[in-house]
Amino acid sequence: MEVVGNEMALLDTDSVISFHDGPSKLEALILGLCLEGEGAVSINLQEYRLSPGVLVVALPNQIIEHR
């Protein structure tokens, strides 16, 4: 994890997954870009498929879960 100032953190996939086990309601804006591989993320109980080039945006107070 790399912290930029006190308002932004840059994380790789392993870091993000290790923060939370199960659904989490975060008080932050999350921008995620899939660079390789495939996966899924759930935002407010709606599942989205991830593949290279897909950008994920989660707003503060939304429930997010990496699958």
* Run means of pLDDT, 10 residues per run, the chain, 67 residues: 66 59 84 89 94 94 88
* pLDDT the model gives residue 22: 82
Query: What is the model's pLDDT at position 1?
Result: 54
Query: Distance of CA 58 to CAs 13, 31, 64, 66, Å?
Result: 15, 7, 7, 12
Query: From start to end of the chain, where are the E strands?
Result: 2-4, 8-10, 24-25, 30-33, 39-43, 46-50, 55-58, 63-66
What was the pLDDT predicted at 26?
82
| pTM exceeds cut of 0.85 | no
Q: Tell me the domain boundaries of the chain.
A: 22-67
